[in-house]
């Protein structure tokens, strides 16, 4: 919709003029057409030109009684739109509409719920701003007269001395963004706001900062209506010709009512990096924790990111696109939920994160799929990741997401590949990979290739991972979260893989291939991890292969203490599409050296040369204890050996020190093979077991779990849900 000219008196400094007027309502045209008119001066999405009049624009979408519909506009009457009403069912005898559709929901009682985001991107056609402003209408006929639900702020701005405007931010003691509701009231709407306390800021972001020179331009920002708005601050973010970012701000401490359907106008301000206008204060961001560098543009990023030293702080204030990779990053970056797109020669954001640096709240995206890995990874331990090749000691990567994909046919350089980071010696927390990864590599993982740090917490992989084997004559490891956890002291908790893992080729692998839904191999404890992704092998050589729903290989030799797997579960099927020898699979762990597995289960079908419900093979000199564990599923093997299938363990090496399974349960028809047992039993149709650490939920008549499992740990109960099959 478009806005035309209005007039009003602007209050000195922050005095507001309240403006509101209406267009005449429309008559019902026919029973199968709605006519939609604007009732307020600023009643919706608007193109703001010199004439500031609101009107509809073809394609504007609104929500009517739950459905989304696009309007049609007659150019001669552009304050009115029409829409076919066929198939739209009234609530009672009324229709309720809200605009724009993407910000609103309508309940059966006519209540409209609006969500204003804390940030909105500036849009324009030429010099005309397009504004997301919210309207609502209710009618018992086919005429819908739209009323403005928000408060509009009108901000006239000029710039000088090469200064560019990056963002306009308003804040107050009350919420100016977030969710509020409106209900029909007479011919209009009554708005109800609820302060959540965390949406007190609303920002107009300029995707490309603009230089206005001496020409005044009006900017509009709708905010949530509120009574008695206090400590209202208007802040302009500007960037000078050297890419330094400053802010110019002014605060009004006395209370002001932001009334629904009204506009508040401000005095014109001329913004310059040299001095603050009268009544405003200027802030320079120097990289401290209190005043972090603000980055709005790629040019500013290229200036700030390489130069920021240890202990400095950066806030990403806008989505940006970069075309080169920063060699060393030493500072602390808060992405604030923004996205950095890698374009041109940039295949990674950083080559290395220096010790004590941090990156948080960031999404990485790549234009297209990477098909060639840069040769310079050889200088970084042959590691590659989209956020960083490597991350040193005491680094923290948290709340980061990769949307980048990789498909490398002949990788000769990156032996270690991770969706987020090639190799981390720090902490990786709450990170997600959504990109597909396909390559030959010695280590290939959804989040990291090798994790050799402190904490791997609550990470998730949603992208398909295809291993094409190693690139050198060594072991090949592949995992949904990490190919390898190379630390005996790492805390690994709460990681989830939801995507398929595929082994399609052995490459140059000579010493075995290890695939795990969570980790290819690990030396650490593993707690509360879950895999639901299918593990598939179509590779046909006789190289030894070990596949585990959670872990491919537990590396914990006689020189280390036994590690623990606790409260882990796998519901992803394990499939081998060819009848080839030396392929061993298990619901939880492919191969074990020294490990205690407790309170964990596999609920999956397994097709392999040899298979087991919990552990496929115990290694030489290993010690293994399996307690309170459960396997349920169909197991199919191609080997004709007597020990080809095991409900709990498939093969125990002759020199295994100790191997025990206590209170473990499995389907009838299987037996615990080559394993010392203690009170293990096949599942009956119905049973309930009591006692600390026992499975306490009954099974249904098919031997499937009835509503999941409850694992008791002392006084704590952890519920692990399993879907019906």
- Asked if pLDDT for residue 10 goes beyond 90, the answer is no
Residue 262 has pLDDT above 70, yes or no: yes
- The region that residue 679 occupies, defined by phi over 0 for left and psi between -120 and 50 for alpha, beta otherwise, is left
685 versus 703: which is more confidently predicted?
703
Positive or negative, the CA dihedral 91, 97, 98, 99 is positive
The pLDDT of residue 218 is above 70 = yes
Task: Provide the 10 A C-beta neighbour count for residue 474.
Answer: 15
Q: How far apart are CA 139 and CA 92, in angstroms?
A: 11
What is the mean predicted confidence (pLDDT) over 537-564? Answer: 84
Going by C-alpha positions, the residue among 475, 467, 465, 400 that lies closest to residue 430 is 400
Residue 627 confidence (pLDDT): 84
Q: What pLDDT score was predicted for residue 668?
A: 60
Weakest mean pLDDT among 415-429, 613-627, 675-689: 675-689
Residue 466 has pLDDT above 70, yes or no: yes
Average pLDDT over residues 358-363: 98
Instruction: Supply 95's token pair.
Output: 């229709």
Residues in Cβ contact with 77 at an 8 Å cutoff, skipping those fewer than 6 apart:
none
pLDDT over 70 for what percent of the chain?
82
- Of the candidates 437, 421, 629, which has an alpha carbon nearest to the alpha carbon of residue 533? 437
Q: Which of 247-251, 258-262, 412-416 has the highest mean pLDDT?
A: 247-251
Contact between 587 and 549 under an 8 Å Cβ cutoff? The reply is yes
Of 403-417, 431-445, 643-657, 677-691, the poorest mean pLDDT is in: 677-691
Span 595-607, pLDDT tens digits: 999 989 898 999 9
Span 133-179, pLDDT tens digits: 788 998 877 888 888 889 889 899 999 989 999 999 999 999 999 99
In terms of average pLDDT, the best of 205-214, 384-393, 549-558, 592-601 is: 384-393
Selected residue with higher pLDDT from 626 and 522:
522
Task: Give the residue, 54 or 634, on which the prediction is more confident.
Answer: 634
pTM confidence score = 0.84
Q: Which residue has the higher pLDDT, 332 or 5?
A: 332
287 phi/psi in degrees, rounded to 5: 90, 5
Give me the sheet containing 406-407, strands edge to edge: 406-407, 437-439, 465-467, 501-503, 535-537, 574-576, 606-608, 635-637
Q: Tell me the pLDDT band of 42, cut-offs 50, 70 and 90.
A: very low
Average pLDDT on 672-688 reads 42
| Spatial CA neighbour of 632 closest among 577, 570, 693 | 570
Handedness of CA 453, 292, 329, 418 (dihedral sign): positive
460 backbone φψ class: left, alpha, beta (φ>0; ψ -120 to 50): beta
Stronger pLDDT, 508 or 655, i.e. the higher one: 508
pLDDT at 47 over 50: no
**464 secondary structure, DSSP code:** -
265, 269, 293: which is closest to 281 by C-alpha? 269
What is the average pLDDT across 617-631? 77
**Does the N-terminal peptide bond of residue 100 adopt cis geometry, omega within 30 degrees of 0?**
yes
The confidence band for 273, taking pLDDT boundaries of 50, 70 and 90, is confident
Tokens 């928000």 belong to 150
Query: Token pair of 390, please?
Result: 């490597």
Least confident of 362-376, 580-594, 650-664: 650-664
Whole-number pLDDT of residue 688? 30
| DSSP one-letter code for 705 | B
- pLDDT exceeds cutoff 50 at 556: yes
Q: Report the alpha-carbon distance of residue 717 to residue 269 in Å, rounded.
A: 61
pLDDT score, position 310: 94
Cα separation, 134 vs 118, whole angstroms: 15
Whether 505 and 472 have beta carbons less than 8 Å apart is answered as: no
Residue in this structure with the two tokens 């009231």, named with its chain if needed: 185
Per-residue pLDDT at 113: 94
User: Which of 63-77, 160-174, 667-681 shows the highest mean pLDDT?
Assistant: 160-174
Q: Residues 6 or more apart from 334 whose CB is under 8 A from it? A: 292, 313, 314, 315, 316, 360, 361
| pLDDT at residue 679, rounded to an integer | 45
Q: Is 627 exposed, middle or buried (0-12, 13-18, 19+ CB in 10 A)?
A: middle
d(CA 219, CA 676): 76
Please answer whether residues 474 and 468 qualify as being in contact, where contact means their C-beta atoms are separated by less than 8 angstroms. Answer: no
For residues 685 and 653, the model is more confident at 653
Q: What's the pLDDT band for 76 if we cut at 50, 70, 90?
A: confident
Average pLDDT over residues 696-702: 34
What backbone phi and psi angles, to 5 degrees, belong to 624? -140, 135
Q: Output the pLDDT for position 689.
A: 31
Q: Which residue has the higher pLDDT, 128 or 429?
A: 429
- The larger pLDDT score, comparing residue 116 to residue 619, is at 116
Predicted confidence at residue 57, as pLDDT, reads 82
Backbone angles phi, psi at 379, to 5 degrees: -85, -5
What is residue 559's predicted lDDT score, i.e. its pLDDT?
Answer: 62
Q: Are 584 and 553 in contact (CB under 8 A)?
A: no
Instruction: Report helix, strand or coil for 446.
Output: coil
Beta carbons of 8 and 46 less than 8 angstroms apart: no
pLDDT band with cut points at 50, 70 and 90 for residue 648: confident
Question: Chain-wide mean pLDDT for the chain?
Answer: 82
Query: Over pLDDT 90: what percentage of the chain?
Result: 52
Tens digit of each residue's pLDDT (9 = 90 or more) over 102-113: 999 999 889 999
CB atoms within 10 A of CB 372: 12
* C-alpha to C-alpha distances, 624 to 563, 620, 676, nearest whole angstrom: 10, 11, 10
Res. 307: pLDDT tops 50: yes
Q: Answer whether residue 573 shows pLDDT above 70.
A: yes
Q: Checking DSSP bridges between strand 460-461 and strand 432-433, what pairing results, if any?
A: parallel
Give CA–CA dist 465/437, Å, rounded.
Answer: 5
In which band, very low, low, confident or very high, does the pLDDT at 319 lie, cut at 50, 70 and 90? very high
Say what the pLDDT of residue 699 is: 35
Check whether 328 has a pLDDT greater than 90.
yes
Q: What pLDDT is attached to residue 270?
A: 93
> Of 673, 536, 658, 509, nearest to 594 (Cα)?
658
Instruction: Report the pLDDT value the prediction gives residue 265, as an integer from 0 to 100.
Output: 84
The CA–CA distances, whole Å, from 486 to 417, 569, 722 equal 15, 22, 30
722 vs 82, residue with greater confidence: 82
Neighbours of 172 (CB within 10 A): 23
| Helices vs strands, H then E, count in the chain | 1, 80
Average the pLDDT over 586-614 and give the result: 91
Distances (CA, A) of 648 to 550, 557, 594: 15, 21, 16
pLDDT bucket at 25, cuts 50 / 70 / 90: very low
Residue 659: its H or E element = strand 658-662
Q: Residue 544 pLDDT > 60, yes or no?
A: yes
């Amino acid at each position: 919709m478009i806005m035309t000219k209005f007039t009003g008196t602007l209050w000195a400094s922050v005095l507001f003029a309240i403006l509101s007027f209406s267009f005449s309502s429309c008559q019902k045209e026919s029973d199968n057409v709605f006519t939609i008119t604007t009732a307020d001066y600023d009643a919706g999405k608007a193109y703001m030109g010199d004439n500031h009049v609101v009107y509809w624009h073809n394609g504007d979408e609104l929500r009517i009684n739950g459905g989304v519909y696009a309007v049609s506009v007659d150019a001669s009457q552009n304050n009115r739109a029409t829409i076919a009403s066929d198939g739209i069912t009234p609530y009672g005898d009324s229709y309720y509409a809200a605009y724009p559709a993407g910000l609103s929901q309508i309940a059966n009682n006519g209540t409209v719920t609006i969500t204003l985001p804390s940030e909105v991107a500036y849009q324009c056609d030429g010099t005309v701003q397009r504004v997301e402003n919210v309207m609502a209408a209710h009618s018992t006929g086919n005429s819908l007269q739209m009323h403005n639900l928000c408060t509009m702020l009108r901000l006239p701005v000029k710039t000088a001395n090469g200064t560019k405007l990056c963002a306009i931010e308003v804040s107050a003691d009350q919420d100016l963004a977030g969710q509020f509701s409106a209900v029909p009231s007479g011919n209009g709407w009554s708005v109800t706001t609820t302060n959540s306390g965390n949406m007190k800021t609303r920002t107009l972001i300029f995707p490309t900062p603009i230089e206005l020179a001496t020409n005044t331009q009006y900017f509009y920002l709708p905010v949530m209506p509120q009574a008695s708005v206090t400590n209202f601050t208007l802040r302009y973010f500007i960037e000078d010709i050297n890419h330094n970012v400053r802010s110019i701000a002014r605060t009004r401490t006395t209370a002001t009512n932001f009334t629904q359907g009204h506009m508040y106008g401000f005095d014109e301000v001329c913004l310059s990096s040299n001095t603050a206008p009268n009544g405003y204060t200027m802030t320079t961001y120097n990289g401290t924790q209190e005043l972090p560098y603000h980055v709005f543009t790629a040019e500013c990023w290229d200036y700030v990111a390489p130069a920021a030293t240890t202990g400095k702080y950066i806030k990403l204030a806008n989505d940006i696109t970069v075309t080169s990779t920063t060699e060393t990053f030493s500072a602390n970056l808060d992405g604030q939920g923004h996205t950095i797109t890698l374009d041109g020669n940039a295949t990674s954001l950083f080559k290395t994160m220096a010790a004590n640096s941090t990156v948080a709240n960031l999404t990485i995206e790549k234009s297209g799929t990477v098909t060639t890995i840069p040769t310079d990874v050889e200088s970084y331990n042959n590691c590659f990741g989209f956020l960083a090749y490597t991350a040193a000691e005491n680094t923290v990567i948290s709340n980061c997401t990769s949307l980048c994909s990789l498909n490398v046919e002949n990788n000769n350089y990156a032996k270690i590949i991770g969706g987020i980071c090639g190799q981390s010696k720090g902490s990786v927390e709450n990170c997600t990979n959504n990109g597909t990864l396909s390559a030959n590599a010695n280590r290939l993982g959804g989040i990291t290739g090798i994790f050799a740090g402190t904490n791997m917490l609550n990470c998730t992989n949603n992208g398909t991972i295809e291993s094409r084997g190693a690139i050198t004559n060594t072991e090949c490891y592949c995992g949904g979260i990490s190919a390898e956890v190379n630390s005996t002291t790492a805390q690994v908790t709460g990681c989830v893989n939801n995507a398929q893992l595929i082994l399609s080729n052995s490459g140059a692998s000579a010493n075995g291939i290890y695939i795990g839904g969570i980790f290819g191999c690990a030396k650490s404890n593993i707690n509360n991890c879950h895999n639901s992704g299918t593990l598939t092998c179509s590779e046909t050589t006789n190289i030894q292969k070990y596949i585990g729903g959670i872990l491919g290989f537990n590396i914990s030799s006689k020189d280390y203490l036994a590690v623990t797997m606790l409260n882990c579960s796998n519901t992803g099927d394990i499939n081998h599409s060819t009848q080839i020898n030396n392929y061993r699979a298990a619901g939880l762990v492919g191969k074990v050296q020294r490990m205690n597995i407790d309170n964990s289960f596999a609920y999956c079908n397994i097709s392999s040369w040899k298979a087991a419900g919990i552990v496929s093979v115990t290694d030489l000199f290993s010690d293994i204890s399996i307690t309170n564990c459960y396997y349920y599923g169909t197991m199919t093997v191609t080997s004709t050996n007597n020990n080809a299938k095991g409900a709990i363990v498939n093969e125990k090496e002759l020199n295994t020190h100790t191997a025990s399974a206590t209170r473990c349960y499995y389907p009838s028809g299987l037996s615990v093979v080559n394993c010392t047992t203690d009170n293990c039993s096949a599942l009956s149709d119905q049973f309930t077991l009591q006692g600390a650490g026992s499975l306490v939920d009954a099974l249904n008549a098919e031997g499937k779990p009835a509503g999941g499992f409850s694992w008791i740990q002392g006084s704590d109960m952890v519920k692990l849900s399993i879907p019906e099959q």
